[in-house]
Amino acid sequence: MVRANVIRDGSLVWQEVPDPIPGEHELLVKVGATGVNAADVMQLQGGYPAPPGSPKDIPGLELAGVIVLRGPAVTRFHVGARVMALVGGGAHAELATVDEWSAMEVPDNCSLTAAGGFPEGFITAWDALVSRGGLSAGERVLITGASGGVGTAAVQLAATLGARVVASTRHPEHASELAGLGAAEVLEATEAVGRGPFDLILELVGGSHVADALSALDTEGRVAVIGIGAGRTTELDLLTLMGKRARVFGSTLRARTVWEKAGATAAVRKHVLPLLRNGKLRVPIAATFPLERAADGYDHLVKGGKFGKVVLVRGEGPN
């Protein structure tokens, strides 16, 4: 038996559960660190059920750790290797299973704590900015809600690609940190849309902000919606959409098939992991909490005002 954070009546309970058993092409990973994300909070509140094949009552979308067992058909990695991965759930536990093609090696220069907060933010950001958003060098991109895990990843990736990055945040005290990640301009959320036009807007807030984003686009601009913290519905001016020949699209990762996630991971492994390895990217950590105190980590995420990721780790306290 191992221990895990189990959802019971809207609360997290640290309790023993049966050992997860790796499938044919899965790795069994001893979790060293695991990020806390908005989707985990939504699942705890009953609003975001786990996808088929993932634990229904153990949250956690990303992890880093050490392989302790391989499924019989695994062809990649070896027992004892340090890996990180995006998963459908189950990461907020001492052991978790990972599809081998969704796993990435943890670079030697990267701690497990940082690696535990890497997959969700950087895979989400790359997928939205590049794979679906088509961001290219010289374009002007606005990243809303830039202080969080996905936002800080997106600022770095866009800057590395040669885009002109504008970051918006409700927390002006984060301006210097966002500039340090590569943002050419850092604006308060209320003034950002007035500083258009933008070729691409990464919309991490949702609600009425999507309509504002549309108004700030340049001709043939794109809005990528990947967050709904401000609401899941809005009204759009379709005449503006038509006149600008604009594109508004949305994306999530959790509900994708194993092979779709493997494809998204492969792109990050090829294009992004080398940048982490050579020190051109980093994972800003807002706070860490012991794995068994996951509820404290969830509370810290919800209260807002953080810069970077909240990460649960084994055997360490908040810092």
Parts of the chain with a pLDDT under 50: 316-319
User: What number of other Cβ atoms are within 10 A of residue 237's Cβ?
Assistant: 12
pLDDT at 131: 97
Q: What is the pTM of this model?
A: 0.94
Determine the pLDDT at residue 316. Answer: 46
Is the separation of the CB atoms in 62 and 85 below 8 Å?
yes
Q: Which residues pair with 3 in a beta bridge?
A: 16
pLDDT given at position 254? 87
Residue 318: what pLDDT? 40
Residues 117, 35 contacting (CB under 8 angstroms):
yes
Using an 8 Å Cβ cutoff, are 100 and 94 in contact? no
Q: What is the pLDDT of residue 189?
A: 82
pLDDT the model gives residue 54: 93
User: What's the pLDDT score for residue 207?
Assistant: 84
The pLDDT, as a whole number, for residue 132 is 96
User: Residue 248's pLDDT is what?
Assistant: 95
Q: 3-state SS of 281-306?
A: CCCCEEEEEEHHHHHHHHHHHHHCCC
The pLDDT of residue 205 is: 86
Please, what are the domains in the chain?
A: 2-118+254-313 (3.90.180.10), 121-250 (3.90.180.10)
Which backbone phi and psi does 203 adopt, to 5 degrees? -95, 105
State the Cα torsion 258-309-64-19 to the nearest 10°: -80
